[in-house]
Each structure stands twice: as C-alpha cells, then as structure tokens.
Structure 1
C-alpha cells in the first residue's frame, strides 16, 4: 500500500527524488499545490524554443529527458538570481577554464543565470613569489598588506576579465562585476591587515545584469564604506552572496569533485539534520573535511530548506544539476525523522488520518483509511515521519517467510522540497536490509523507485521493486508469487486486495533493469532476472563489500581476460602471483621472447604457456575481442608497437580493451590516464581505457609530498634509495650484490625521469637524487620540504592524516618508516614529520615496496577500477 504525491519537483534536492510519485499504492496524495509565480521574461534572456529543445536533447545524454525537463522547470520557477551561486576557485580558472565555460554556456542557452564568484589563490601565490613577497598566514587566513593587496587587486581584475572573455567566445553575454559587489569591514586590521568581513551584498547590480541578459561574474574583493578595497576569501564571499540571494543551489567547484568517506569513496549526499552528529563522531571526519561540513551546515542553517550545497568538478556541472544521480557531493539540511511502532506513538491520531486521507481519491477515502488503521492496530509495523508529517512511510516487517514491505509512502510538496523523502529512504536502507514494494507502471516518478531499487519486475501495469535480496531462490519465489498473484501477494490484509484489482495470472512478466550510478561498487548480477545495483545518494558510511562483474564484462559471468606482454621481470612475476589469487581476473596469455614455449610457473588457476606474441598477434586478438585488459610490462621505449597494434585492432572491432602500461612511455602523454588512485580521481580511472602506471620512486615521492603542495615554500628535495630489484634482471653494477655490499650507488644525479614525472604530476618542481643499495626490494625516501608558513610537527602530521584518511594502501605513522617493514607489503608508509627550529622546513619519510605498490599492486588497482571491480579486489590491504 504505497502512496506518494503528484507534485512535480523537488527544489535543490536530488539524487533519487526528483520526479515525484503520483499514485503508487493504497493512498494517493492530491495536495492543493499553489503554482509558484513564474519568473519574469524580463529577468532573463528569452531562449529560442528550438535551441532550448536542442540543448534539452543534449543534456539528456547525462540523464533522462524527463529529468532534464523537470529540473529546468524547477530552476526557472524562481526569480533568475535565485537559481544558483557558483564559487569558482583559482585552480579551476587555471586548469579547467574551458570545461567551466562550456558548462556555463549550457546553462545560459536554456535561460539559466547562475551568479559566479571566483577567487585566484594559486595565481596570487605565484605572483607574490615572483614579486619577492613571502605569503604570510595566521589561523589559515592570508595576511594582506598593502603590497599583497595591490598584487591581488590587479590579479582579480585580470582573471575576471579573462573569464568574461572566454564566456563571450562561447556566445555567452557576461558582465564583469569586479568591484563594489561586497560591502565589508576590517576583519581585524592589526592581525590580518586588509582582509574584510562582508557586511552587505549589492543585489541590485546582480539583478540588473541578469535582467539585461548577462551572467554576473564577481570577484571576492570587497570595499569599506569609505572605499578601501579589502581581500575576502572566495568561499566566504560565496557564502555571504548565498545568504543575500537565497538560491536553490550553492555550488562549490572542486578539482576533486566532492567529499570522500573513510573508504576513499565519494560521498554522494549528506542530509545534515539526520547525519551531522553521526558524521562529527566519525574518526575519519576531521581537519579539512570536518571544517568543510561544519561551514556548510552553518551556511545552510541560515538559508531556506529548499537550498542545497553541491561540491562538484566543473566538467560534471550538467550532470550534477540535471540528474537525480548527480556527480559530486550534495549536502542539504533535510529533516530529522521520528518513528512509531504503534498507533499510540502518534501524538495526534486525527492528524495521521488526515495524512492518509490526503493521498486517497474517491468518496470512500475516509472509510478506507479507517480500515487501514484497524489493520495496523492488530499488526506489527514501523512508521517513519517528520514532525509536520510532510512525509510518512510505513513498513510491514518480515514474517512468515515474507520480506519486509514498504506499504505506505506519502510525501507532500514541502516534504519533497525539504528532502525528507531521501532521509526516510536512507533510514529504511539502514534498518531494513531487504525491502519490497510495488508501484503503478504509469507513475510519473517511476525512475525514483528504480534509483532506490536493485531490481524490478512488471506485471499488468504494476511494478514490484526490491533491494537487498541476495538469496537467489528467495528472489525467484518472490517474482513467481508476484506474477501469479500480483500486488495482492504483498498485502498483509484483505484491505490491500480490496483496494487494488487482482493481477492477471496469465500475463507474462517483463523484467526491468534499475539504472545504476556507480561504476565502482556494483554487486554481482544474478543470471535469471536482469537487474543492476544502484548506488544513489545514500548513507555516507555504507560501502558495498561484494565484488562486481567488470564494466567491460558486465554482461558476462566469466572473469575478465588478461594478457601480459613482458612477463620475465620481477614486476611481471609479482603481477602473475596477484592475478592467481584474484577471483575475477583470468590470465590467458603471457608473452616473453626468452621464455616462449615454457610453462608459466606460479599461476595455478589454469595451465598457461609462455608465448612470443608479435604486434600483429596483438592486433588480431584485439580485433576478435579476445582480451579485456592488456598489461605492458616491457622496458621503457619498447611497448609502442604493441600499443599501436591494440589501437589498430580497435578500428575494426566494437570491442575496446583496457591497456595498462608499466613503463614510462606514456606517463607524459595527456591522452593517457595517470594511474595513481590515491591522487588521481578514481572516476577518471573507472572510465579509462589506457592507463600509465606510475613509477615506483614517483609513487612514494608524490604521496610523500602531495599533502603539502599548497604549503610549499620552495623546492622539495628527495633523497631516494632503492633495493637492487629496481635495477631489473639484466646484469649491471646496480644489481650486482658483490659490488653493492658495503656500498651505496648514486646515479642520475639530475634529470632522472622520476624527477620529471613527480614534478609534472604535482605541478611543483622537485629535486630527486636516486641511489641503489644492497637489499633486494623496497624503497626509502627522505624528503626535505620548505614551507610557506610556520608549522609544527603535529600540524604537518595532521595534514597527512586528513589527506589519507580512508586510503587503505597509505599508512601515516609517527616515526620514520623502515624499508624492512614495508618489504612484501602492498602499501606505502609515511612518517617522520620532523620540523626544524624555524618551523619553515619539514622532513618527511616514505617507504614503498617497488615491486608491489610501486608496480604490480598499483597495476592491479588500476585494472580493478578500469574493469569495474572493487579497487582492492585481490589485494591484501595494509
């Protein structure tokens, strides 16, 4: 007996709850809904209808046409300046300007006018360094003296004009509003100098720009009443702008594309009223993440409940705004939920009746509800609702071999707009591991239920949904009961069958597939009913431990097929050992010229013989679709003919394998994805078909420096020492044990390829001096890092702990880590954190097994992600 409302939109909310249900079960909400006043045509440029239709069609590539149209209707239901405030950081302007402008051009074309406010922090640091001005910070706030302010003012004007010009090139009329938009007082002149605290926003200038058909582009510079320019943090400026405009959306564009949980997975959504206290109690929610969530809560507490905050990558802006699934992290207030297990738990039974009646049609609505309440008096149930009862769900518990059933779900317009529906379903997922419910096939919000479900089956106009049922015989029986008895089989009273017609037993059921969001965390697909596992914006600490089938192998039950080109070396042998233990990867070809014809040792899942595959062989195998993943374990400069062969094979085949190259050949090629999952967005790796595996030295060095890049006060110097396995199997002085005994060999003292690799990836120059020592495996780095502000050892360690919280293969320790403790292990240890007496230099130590996390283990991480398996599948974590 599932009911829901017929309201058309949820403001600012999303993921699963955009399209609102009409009539789904026993009760059907028909609230009186006042149409919001449409926004004036003078408030925005009139968009040509054919152009709008074209853009809607284009946006439909990231979501359904209905999703796009409904979100457009929602966003245009308010005055245009209340659509969205978008904060753009300086790094976005530098690295992702084209993607940003393309996304804004889409919004502009469909008549949406976000208010843009941007910063320029990284650019300012560079200019100050060039001007010989050393940046100073106090309590995390930049001290702005007269020289700094002068540089900042010119920079902001330049960046503002550059953004406006780029938008104009894409056909977007943009208005530069670089000054006069924020009124401010000194935050504390003695302490921070020319830093402002915003006291007012010039809304009129913003509204005028939009009314004239221009996107307003603001800087975060402010002015005092007497005209003194002050520097204001861009996040602070965006928050004050949001408080003044009260938009539906506040968007923070981020290179990372969201917040991440303890397992390193992106948090899809946070409902603050329901989850804030829980989050603040979690060990992994600390430092930067903790501060961000706290600041956003403080902002949303001052805004209407219809406002939500999104943290998103600029390239995913359309998906974030126009789909239920979104792409970044959505943060909203929501509402706290109450629960009841008996009718006496409700404070006002008449109010409960009214809630149930409002969803019923026909003259007998009250009588039907009375019968339903009589049924609830005699049977177990659990109800979930918010205090004003804008949302109500009733679950009948599992018993007598039947699964728990969602019998009633009724939501008012206010309930949708304040995201209570999402909160309720999150709670249902936590408290009911298995759940079944039915919905009418013509329900206009059917996709919301698909998003919440793991599978469905259709019968005579009804759709039965479920999640959490992993027992195949139980699931098959459930579907058989539904096809034979229809929705009546879910009812625990005669009321259900009296309210709905019986299903036609002779009809043939139609299996449906629920749309999934995640490419990283799907559970196995059963072979009889076809259903995918959706991962919407659920409870942030939940993870899916079950291994999926690979995305390149999603329709098959067999493991993904792997070919290893160049298997003789130490790394190849380690990878073979890992593949032997992997439940979803099968090694089908190994190629080595020297070992061709010999049996592969160390692989027990099948008999495999070494081959000497030529590029022509590789091309033909790719054409026939025989390989899902090619691993190139060849020396530098050797693998190009094989990669080109894969490219050639793809031209005449719909099959597209994944390539992972362990050499340095493609680490500087921007068309390849750099495969360091702890520092590169995992979503990028999940979509990649060609991955450059990082070097061993480079992996440890990057992980050892990356958390401090924004705090660098000069060039880091890396003193690296490797065991002789890093020199390979070809005889040389660097792997001659006799020569290495009582010795250490420095080499490539400048310009080592890993020096260039680390500098390129971090965006900051480093100096690297490699050495080889007498032990077999393992690398130690001692890294001296200049700082741009005074820090303590504890400050630095906390930065690292925060950055790597939830990373299973990175361990932050106190003392300097030792090589002998990392040998044979699959991760990296980082420690030391000794700060000199000036507080401006820290020494960080990092260790890594060069054959595992430095090569084979990292390769397997990348393979797992690219093929759609759980990242750590087959990897014993630290």
Structure 2
C-alpha cells in the first residue's frame, strides 16, 4: 500500500451520514412493511439490507475510488464471514469515541461484513482502581492482577462491553456480547503476576454462532482456567490468538494515537517491515513497555500467518480508508522482505529468479529485447541492482562515468506495488544516489508515481524524461541529450493506460511538484514601501499586512482623492496620503528613498509610473498588481506565483507582475495535472463582489446581486488569457459575481484519462507538500471557510464513471492570496526576507 495522510474529518462526516441513513432506512421499512410472518420479515430484512448497502457503498466511493471499493468488497466476501477481520479496540476508544466506533462497525455490518471485535479496557480500569484506592502495579508492562484488581477488571469489562453493544443496537446493528467462554488459559506466572493468564486454546463456537445468526460478536479479553478461574489477558495477545484461529484477511488494532508514534521524532510511523527492521526497532530507546509488547506480539503472530498478511494500527475514523482503499492509514506492520543490493550478475544466486523479473519488461515481452542480450549488456557496464528477496520488485541503476546515474529498469509485480515495496526500493536508491535520471513511456500506468518521485520532467515523442537532484544547468544539459535521443529507451513498470493518447498533449519542463521555499539566510534590514493607488480593497489589505510586517514600513502612499488625509489602518507611523506626480516619483527613485513600489492601480494605468522608475535607473523593486505586465515577453518582468514558478528567479527579479485572483486559484487547481490533460479544461468561477472593486457598477450593486448570480465577460476574459498563457494550455473561463463580499469558488472541469480519484489526490498532495499557503483536502472546499485566510484550499477530485474527466474545486480569498498576500510573498522573496514574514500561516 501507498500510505497516505488520513482524512479524519471526511471519514467522520461520512460515518455520521451513514448512521443517520441506516436508522432512517430501518425506520421507514419497519413502518411501511408488515412483519407478521416469517416470509414478510425476511423480505423486510433483505430490502433493508440492500437499500442500506447501496447507501454505504455510495459513501465509501467518496473515501476511495469505485474500483478500489469494488475490489476490496469482492476480496472480503470471497471467504467465510468469520474470516473477514479481527478488530481489536483500545479501551480509551469506547470511552472517548464510542459513536465513531459504532458508526464504523455499522458501515461493515450494512455491507454484509462481520468483523470479530475484541476490546480492551485499560484506562477505565485505572480510573476505577483509583476510586477504590488501589494503586496499579506493573512488571515488564504487564498489570499485576490481584483478586481486588480482578473484581474491578471484570466489572469494567462487562460495563464497556455493554456500552458498545448498546450503541450498536441503537443504530440498527445486531450485536452479541461475548464476555466468557472463548479463551481458555493457564497462569502466566502466578507468583509474579497473580491472576494474569496465558491463552492455551480458543473456542470458536460462540463467535461462529453469533455471526451465523447475523450478529456482530463483541468479545472481552477475559480468559478462564479449566476449573473456571477468571484470568486477565492482554487484549493485544488475545486478538493475536483469535487471528491465529480464524486466519482473517485483515487484522486491525484501533487506538487513540492512530498508529505507532516514533518517540524521537514525534511522527507516526507509516510502515514497518519486520524482516528488515524488527531487531533494530526493538533497540530503540522509545520502544518499551506496551509498545515493545505490541510489536513482539505482532511479530510472533505474523510468523504463523501467510506472508501477505499484515496488521494495521489506525485511528477509528480511518477504518474504512484502511479496509477499502489502496492508500491505507495509520501504521502498517508486515513481514515484508529484506532488500538486497547486487553489483554483478554473479551475486544473483538464482538466475531464473532474475530472468522471471526481467520478463516483466515490456521491451522483453514484445520481443524487441531478449533477456540474454540484456544480461550481456549488464555484464559490460557498472551497475547496482535493488530488490526484495523474491524479486517482486527489481530496479537497476547504471553508473555512467561523468554522467548522471540512470535508473535503467524498474520492474514490479502487482504485489510489489500494492505492498509498497516500490516505495521502499526507491527510497533505498535515493539514499545511495543524490542525482538520478530515468525515462518512462507516456502510457505507463504508474506515471503519477514517477512524477511524485521526481524534481522535474520533460516530455517528447511518447516518452518522459524524469530527474531529481539536478540544478538548472544540469537539467538543461540532460534535456538536450534526451532531445537528441542520446540517452536511450524508457523503463516501464506496468501496462499501458493511454493517459497520453491525445494529440493535443505537448508539455515541456514539469516544475510544479518540487519548488521548495528558499533556504538562503534571512535579511532583517528594514525596507521602505511606496504604495500607489491605495484606496481600493486590495490596497487596504496590503496596508494591513505591511502594518504587521517585521521588516517593511510604508514611506509614501499616493491617492489624489485622499491627499492630505491620514492613512487609516496603519499604526507604525503617522502617514498622510500624497498625490505623487511623475516628477515626485522620479526624484524619490533617484534618491533611493523607496525600496519597493507597489502599483495597486486599474489595468492600463501603471505604465507611466513604471517607465519613470525605469528611466531613473534606480535599484528599487516594482510589484504591479494589475494585468499590464502578466504577458511580458521581454524577459524583464517575472510572473510572481511562488508555488508554481521558480522562487529563485522571483527572488532575483526587480520587476514582478502579481497574478490575478481567478488566475492564481485556477492555475493551482490545474497545474499538477498538466501532463495528463487530454482536452480543454473549463473553469467556472464565482467571486464575491469585492472583486468588482469600489467603483459602483452592477457587479457590486448589492440590490442587483440579492438572490442573484451574475455571469459576466462570458468569453475572452483577461484571466482566461492569463491562465492559458502561464500554463501553456488553452482553458475556458466563465466568471460570475455573487452576493458575498470576498472569496472565490472555482469549479474546474479537466478532461483527462487513466487516473483514479485517489491517484489525483495523491498527486496534488505531493505537488504542494511543502507549500504553506496551499491546502489539499479530500472534500470540497467552501468560500466561507477560506474568506479572510491567506491560503488556497483545493479538493473534490471527483472522477466520472467514464474515467475521462475530473472535477477539482478550489477556494481562494481574492483580496489576500489572490492579491495582497501574494504581493507580500513576492516582496519578501525579492528583499531576502522569509517568504511568509508578515503573513499569518
């Protein structure tokens, strides 16, 4: 699995909707259908089941793609119901997240899946013991259970079990409490731990009987000796014993942390491959007590299950994501395989294993290349190979003298992709090589993955050149060699997906995915700013941001209408409006009295002021907020969209054209998909009336906008030209204005081919991973949530059934990130400040 950031808000919302839907469906059916005889009761149950199942599957499609959901449902229903999953629930979840847990289990119940649920009760026991005046004692992380403690433990288990069963029954889920009769045990060490047990056998009958009767079995981890003495057993251990007996497809541990957290870094561990990491992991100083016991128990458990088995430790809200998507959630623990490096053919102990791995290569499959000839080639060059033990994944890097190392082959089975071995292999390569290039066919089904691993790319004649770790000159040289066919053929890792079948697809250098903030030293010398045209909404927001900026001060503000009046909203100094004329601006520039000029003027008005500053041969920076220089072809002006354009180029420029508001949001919503687009994207944009400015017009007339949506400039809007020019891709843009004050909604329809919703979301997450002012979310962003914020929110990522278009939604504040915030970003970069200084991120 490719592990991914969890989406608690989305999952929680879906679960609530499911619960409401399940209860409503049950209520309606109970009212409308009589249940006086067995036949009618069965009919009612079947209608209720299929109606609710349809609702659940529809909601699941919002978490992952339809393909994923159908794939996993088919997988889970391929075995007997009791072999679906064992889910161990931490005691704190029943106390703190009972409703979420019940809703999660309802999801499964209503699609006909019956997990075996076993819960602990650790935190509750401590609280009860404290109330009883008993201080908990532990040895090696195991609770000493004396008779008094056992009395409390038993009471607590029964109470928590009843709470969960009752919560399930309330939302239409039949659940059966099973508090005894499943685990038989002997004393672990009577003198040392007292009433603590070691499980010797598991009685499956009560569990199977519950499932066969249509009930979810809800178990405690209490065990009994043959003579009937109750013994306390660690819940993780009990869950492991259940898994050994039932051999389920999934083993899930739900805990409040949502996974195993690295005690040194504070970050959640995504994947643990036990064969590779187990011994070193146990030596970590933070792995102790309960964590160590959990890892040991999972290690021992997986030794007795098929190698494909795994254990997931996740947050309760991520249960559906873990079960029904490829991305998974929390911490995935599996046996995995050790990764092996080889530097010669002789180091491959089993030549047939190598041959079988090479047979995955499309060139070899098609007969264009034989295995023997490729092996002969490897014998003549210096190479390093990477692979797991069974060679589910094989990567070969060719070391080229005085050249950038080339990833010559990257071959993976489907198992290798699904089990995340591909990521492990690539990470190992990245540790060894600070620079790398590789070529992939445009039809490779895993193209999105390659984009996520690269710093840049260049496409030509059906192939894409990728690289990482190169500077601009090195990348340019590599592109030139690729352009003249000097590098060679492409590697491939999968079947054709046709994502580049459109003849309109012509892309050059791909730069959006890796454009990190500059790391050069921060400057702290204060800079003087002159603002020309400050009376509009954008000017007011620029003033507010500068007022909070640690290193910027306003020295001059020009407005003919407000000349002589005090500048409102600026508290650092007593600044009066002036009416700066051409001669005043020339003198200020010649004397070096201004470091940064901000032109907050209507389109077509800035040029005389800019020409005057240029003629004075000063060293100041100009940031123009109008559209006058967004189409500059002289190379003098730089388009200041830091998230997509090279930050170093912006930093080195003294003439910045600030992007438009619609254009900023649209480009950010389209850019990650440029290499996949098969047609002309359409942007349906709706702005608050502040976008129409302060000059009275029908577009900012509140009476005209009341209960109304006003389309305008239906074709050839200036932002349509701007977006198309900057992306080098034709787009259609349809602007509207609505009755709210500030904020823009952009609903973008993008024709593409071959990508699932999950893959698109992952591509956006990867592209904007280091961007503080771009938020990627799974659900649809709303204007009301972005108004007054400095960032852009992007979400939705809905793919139609034909898989030939995606709809992406972006929300941006037109006055901030669409204008003033972006202006400050650009000033910060040009003046050597931190990019986000003065911006509340």
TM-score (norm 1): 0.51
Aligned to 1:345: 347
Matching of residues 302-701 of structure 1 within 5 Å = 302-357=304-359, 365=367, 368-397=370-399, 401-411=403-413, 413=415, 420-439=421-440, 449=450, 464=464, 466=466, 468-469=468-469, 471-472=471-472, 474-475=474-475, 491=488, 508-509=504-505, 529=510, 531-532=512-513, 597=574, 653-654=743-744
Aligned to 1:616: none
Aligned to 1:228: 229
Matched, 1:63 2:64: yes
Structure 2 CA distance for aligned equivalents of residues 597 and 314 of structure 1: 56
C-alpha distance after superposition, 1:720-745 (max 9, x if no partner): xxxxxxxxxxxxxxxxxxxxxxxxxx
| Contact 1:274–1:423 (8 Å) recurs in 2 | no
Gaps of 5+ in 2: 5-44, 521-537, 554-566, 577-593, 599-686, 693-737, 747-774, 787-824, 826-833
Cα displacement (A) at 1:303: 2.8
Aligned to 1:149: 150
3-state SS in 1 of match to 2:219: strand
Aligned to 2:11: none
Greater shift, 176-185 or 137-146, is seen at 137-146
| Contact 1:453–1:466 (8 Å) recurs in 2 | yes
C-alpha distance after superposition, 1:487-534 (max 9, x if no partner): x765369x99xx99xx9999554569xxxxxxxxxxxxxxx6354369
| Contact 1:119–1:156 (8 Å) recurs in 2 | yes
Cα displacement (A) at 1:409: 0.6
Aligned to 2:116: 115
| Contact 1:55–1:106 (8 Å) recurs in 2 | yes
Aligned to 1:133: 134
| Count of residues in correspondence between the two structures | 535
Matching of residues 709-748 of structure 1 within 5 Å = none
| Contact 2:186–2:225 (8 Å) recurs in 1 | yes
Closer, same or farther in 2 for the Cα pair 1:334/1:368, shift >3 Å? same
C-alpha distance after superposition, 1:262-303 (max 9, x if no partner): 333322212222233444555665666555444433333333
Cα displacement (A) at 1:343: 1.7
Closer, same or farther in 2 for the Cα pair 1:259/1:348, shift >3 Å? closer
Aligned to 1:266: 268
Closer, same or farther in 2 for the Cα pair 1:565/1:873, shift >3 Å? closer
Cα displacement (A) at 1:201: 1.8
Structure 2 CA distance for aligned equivalents of residues 212 and 455 of structure 1: 57
Structure 2 CA distance for aligned equivalents of residues 282 and 566 of structure 1: 49
Greater shift, 329-338 or 169-178, is seen at 169-178
3-state SS in 1 of match to 2:370: helix
Cα displacement (A) at 1:335: 0.5
| Contact 1:59–1:68 (8 Å) recurs in 2 | yes
Structure 1 CA distance for aligned equivalents of residues 272 and 125 of structure 2: 33
Closer, same or farther in 2 for the Cα pair 1:138/1:285, shift >3 Å? closer
Cα displacement (A) at 1:123: 1.7
Cα displacement (A) at 1:412: 6.6
Structure 2 CA distance for aligned equivalents of residues 438 and 49 of structure 1: 48
Q: What is the CA RMSD across the aligned residues, in angstroms?
A: 5.2
C-alpha distance after superposition, 1:160-209 (max 9, x if no partner): 12212212223322222221121111222233222211112222332333
3-state SS in 1 of match to 2:99: helix
Closer, same or farther in 2 for the Cα pair 1:305/1:465, shift >3 Å? farther
TM-score (norm 2): 0.53
Closer, same or farther in 2 for the Cα pair 1:435/1:267, shift >3 Å? farther
Aligned to 1:15: 3
Cα displacement (A) at 1:476: 6.2
Gaps of 5+ in 1: 1-12, 17-43, 513-527, 535-543, 549-559, 581-589, 609-620, 627-647, 657-681, 691-863, 865-870
Aligned to 2:92: 91
| Contact 2:314–2:329 (8 Å) recurs in 1 | yes
Closer, same or farther in 2 for the Cα pair 1:228/1:492, shift >3 Å? same
Bigger Cα Rg: 2
Aligned to 2:177: 176
